[in-house]
């Protein structure tokens, strides 16, 4: 099985005719993702072509959903348009919104998150690499070539580390159920606990890898949740151990303020919950293999 996306996912891409949107849509279609529609205001009626397929382009997400039955929306538009696209996708009635866009103002995301929560619609991101269910579907940037189907669920704040860990697992012959990048902004739609609940409920996920980073307290919250509610083994890594206080490191949320959000505090919380914490990304796959008896 998998979580969030699979071969039945019907994707509409907001920003499909832009440079980034067209490139990544073509990559997703080549992987096998069922891209059923694209959206660019003013370009409705055009056709996007990739991998020998044609995808209709609409002016609005509502039109795309009505015409194609899309159930998932990917947003890859400039930041000044992204929040409006999130609202539009929510009003169109999709089940899952994946927003890859970065630099969305925090206050805009606070309002958008409240709106989605009221409607019961899941948002992944913003500022995330998306997600991948190996052999079935990918929505976002995660390279399909480095993944393989298997029993390990991966959830991460970091895009680049996600790719590195997936590749390391695959090279050891350890496949993945679904790989989820939640993004590193201060306000996002899906956090570690949300994904941990899904992996815990998925019968095919036998082991979980959680990759965190400095800033905020999501990792500490996740550690407490795992200790009380997760029966499956979890292996973790925390990025940013050498980051200086007060300086943003990569993601907008990756900043240590006072004594809050330090790598040491997160590692201590995880270890207190009985969760092994790798010293570097390369060790994660090795620890997983040992814990799986490989």
Strand partners, 123: 97
User: Could you give the C-alpha distances from 137 to 34, 90, 248, in angstroms and in order?
Assistant: 7, 21, 33
CA separation for the pair 122, 237 (Å, rounded): 25
Do residues 9 and 124 touch, judged by C-beta distance below 8 A?
Answer: no
The residues annotated with a catalytic role in the active site are: 251
Q: Are 143 and 115 in contact (CB under 8 A)?
A: no
Cβ–Cβ under 8 Å, residues 248 and 255: yes
CB of 61 closer than 8 Å to CB of 89:
yes
Tokens 């550690």 correspond to what residue?
223
């Amino acid at each position: 099985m998998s979580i969030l996306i699979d071969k039945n996912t019907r994707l509409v891409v907001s920003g499909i005719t832009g440079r980034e949107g067209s490139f990544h849509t073509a990559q997703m279609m080549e992987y096998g993702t069922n891209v059923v529609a694209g959206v660019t205001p003013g370009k409705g009626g055009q056709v996007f072509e990739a991998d020998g397929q044609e995808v209709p382009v609409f002016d609005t997400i509502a039109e795309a959903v009505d015409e194609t039955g899309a159930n998932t929306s990917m947003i890859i538009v400039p930041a000044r348009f992204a929040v409006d696209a999130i609202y539009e996708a929510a009003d169109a009635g999709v089940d899952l919104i994946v927003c890859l866009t970065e630099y969305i103002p925090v206050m805009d995301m606070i309002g958008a998150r409240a709106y989605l929560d009221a409607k019961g619609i899941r948002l992944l991101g913003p500022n995330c690499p998306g997600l991948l269910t190996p052999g079935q579907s990918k929505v976002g940037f995660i390279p399909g070539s480095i993944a393989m189907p298997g029993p390990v669920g991966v959830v991460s704040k970091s895009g680049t580390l996600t790719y590195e860990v997936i590749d390391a697992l695959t090279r050891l012959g350890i496949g993945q159920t679904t790989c989820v990048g939640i993004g590193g902004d201060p306000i996002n739609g899906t956090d570690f606990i949300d994904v941990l609940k899904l992996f815990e409920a998925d019968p095919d996920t036998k082991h979980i890898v959680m990759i965190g980073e400095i800033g905020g307290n999501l990792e500490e919250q996740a550690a407490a949740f795992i200790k009380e509610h997760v029966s499956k083994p979890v292996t973790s890594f925390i990025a940013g151990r050498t980051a200086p206080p007060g300086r943003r490191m990569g993601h907008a949320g990756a900043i240590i303020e006072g004594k809050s959000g330090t790598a040491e505090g997160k590692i201590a919380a995880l270890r207190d919950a009985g969760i092994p914490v790798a010293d570097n990304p390369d060790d994660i796959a090795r620890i997983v293999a040992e814990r799986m008896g490989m």
